[in-house]
Amino acid sequence: MTTRVVGVRFKKAGKIYYFDAQNHEINQEDHVIVETVQGMEYGDVALTPRDIDETLMKNPIKPIIRVATDEDDSKYSEIKKLEEESRIVFEEKVIENGLDMKLINAEYTFDQKKAIFYFTAEGRVDFRKLVKDLASVFRVRIELRQIGVRDEVKLMHTLGICGRNTCCSEWLGDFTPVSIKMAKEQGLSLNSTKISGVCGRLLCCLTFEDDFYRSITKKMPKIGNWVTTPDGEGQVYRLNVLEEKVLVRLVMPGDEMEIRSYDVDEVVRSGEKHALANNLKQKQRNLERKQELDANAAEQKTGEDDQGPQRGKPNRSKKRQGGKRPENTTEKNDVNRGKRNQAGTEKSDATRREGGEKTKDDKNRKRGGKRYRPNRAKSGKQRGGKPRQNAKPKSN
């Protein structure tokens, strides 16, 4: 089942909305009155009536109320005057509340039940008190919308860097994403001041020719590749996408360089040979690079061997031979270590005898075949503790 629909636009270069035309006789650029979510609106017919399958519609569409009459046209002009007056009141209230916001546009619905104010600000703004003040003055529903820099330029209808009116304010309905890659593929300067618009963002016109550049550059070799031309083998110097030509640097007799222009078909016709030649040249470059690195590493190693071990660091070359030290070195170290231990023991014993203390040998001296052990109760008492109660008394 089909439905007869018509496209309506409420702003110049604005988005197109679809409504049910029903039995109205409507022509392009006629004025109509329609019912929207915001209320009754006055719009212009952008697309003439046409039949569309209902299954393609995601949401049900609302019908057109009527074609605008002379009274509706005069009322619409009065609303435009009211919008200019409301701008002055809005700016006064902003100053009174001390808010940092810039008014861009003011709109009224056709039934004058709602007023919409568009503004810009650096950050979030608390405008709750401002809404109350405006509602007490205009006696209608107030709605404030914060917009971005692109929407601001779209509503201001200013001139672009090309000298003409900006595309967004003349005919561009929706904004499409723009990337710096588009400017790079088109061979433009990557200076932000040259590829940015009035809004400070990348130019929307960069997307207009992006599909054409993508399709042509797929057939062209990359800059720096080696290709075969009717005049011989050469290296790609530059690409002329608009004329679909390739500039190639050729080596002429006498080692002279010359740049010539060829069509894309003349260069791409033997593409398999180009790929093979590029692969061979790349392998040759990699091999030369590897040989150069190996030569540098060998020279560095030779220089270290000539200089010998660095000063201040032990030479551990002997330790690397089988992981063992020479036997003579080990025996010598053991003898020296034993001498040091013996001398230290004799010195400590002599010191203790001079002081009247018992040496280690005296303590370990045996009495009656048994090792001498001091009485624990006595030793505990000497340490300031109390003797154990269950200790056995000595027999006389």
Looking at the predicted structure, is the pLDDT value of residue 322 above 70?
no
Q: Which of left, alpha, beta for 94 (phi over 0: left; psi -120 to 50: alpha)?
A: alpha
Smallest CA-to-CA distance from 378 within 363, 368, 388 is with 388
Q: What is the pLDDT of residue 32?
A: 93
C-beta atoms surrounding 271 within 10 Å: 13
Q: Report the pLDDT averaged over residues 123-151.
A: 91
CA dist 359 and 122 (Å) reads: 89
Looking at the predicted structure, is the pLDDT value of residue 185 above 50?
yes
Q: What is the pLDDT of residue 193?
A: 86
The answer to whether the beta carbons of residues 347 and 359 sit under 8 Å apart is no
Of the ranges 88-92, 344-348, 375-379, 388-392, which is most confident?
88-92
Of the ranges 102-111, 303-312, 357-366, which is most confident?
102-111
Q: Report the pLDDT averaged over residues 30-50.
A: 90
Smallest CA-to-CA distance from 120 within 143, 137, 144 is with 144
CA dist 147 and 119 (Å) reads: 6
CA dist 226 and 207 (Å) reads: 31
Instruction: Give the number of residues written for the chain.
Output: 396
Q: What is the pLDDT of residues 150-168, one digit of tens each?
A: 988 988 888 888 889 899 8
Q: What is the pLDDT of residue 206?
A: 92
Looking at the predicted structure, is the pLDDT value of residue 396 above 50?
no
Tokens (6 digits) for 57 = 């519609």
CA dist 59 and 49 (Å) reads: 18
Cα distance from N-terminal residue to C-terminal residue, the chain: 131
Domains of the chain in start order, with CATH, are 2-68 (no CATH), 76-147 (3.30.300.20), 174-214 (no CATH), 220-277 (2.30.30)
Q: What is the pLDDT of residue 172?
A: 86
208-238: burial string, b at 16+ Cβ within 10 Å, e else: eebeebeebeeebbeeebbbbbeeeebbbbe
Residue type for position 236: V
Q: What is the DSSP letter of 175?
A: -
Which residue shows structure tokens 């710096």?
180
pLDDT band at 175 (very low <50, low <70, confident <90, very high): confident
Residue type for position 258: E
Q: Is 219 helix (H, G, I), strand (E, B) or coil?
A: helix
Tokens (6 digits) for 227 = 């290709």
Which residue shows structure tokens 């035309």?
21
Q: What is the pLDDT of residue 103?
A: 92
Q: Bridge-partner residues for 256, per DSSP?
A: 252
Smallest CA-to-CA distance from 85 within 123, 13, 48, 138 is with 138
Looking at the predicted structure, is the pLDDT value of residue 86 above 90?
yes
Q: What is the pLDDT of residues 226-273, one digit of tens each?
A: 888 888 888 888 888 888 899 998 888 877 888 999 888 888 544 555
CA dist 10 and 26 (Å) reads: 16
The answer to whether the beta carbons of residues 374 and 358 sit under 8 Å apart is no
Q: What is the pLDDT of residue 254?
A: 78
- Measured N-to-C along each axis, helices 128-138 and 70-97 cross at an angle, to the nearest 10 degrees, of 140
The answer to whether the beta carbons of residues 42 and 112 sit under 8 Å apart is no
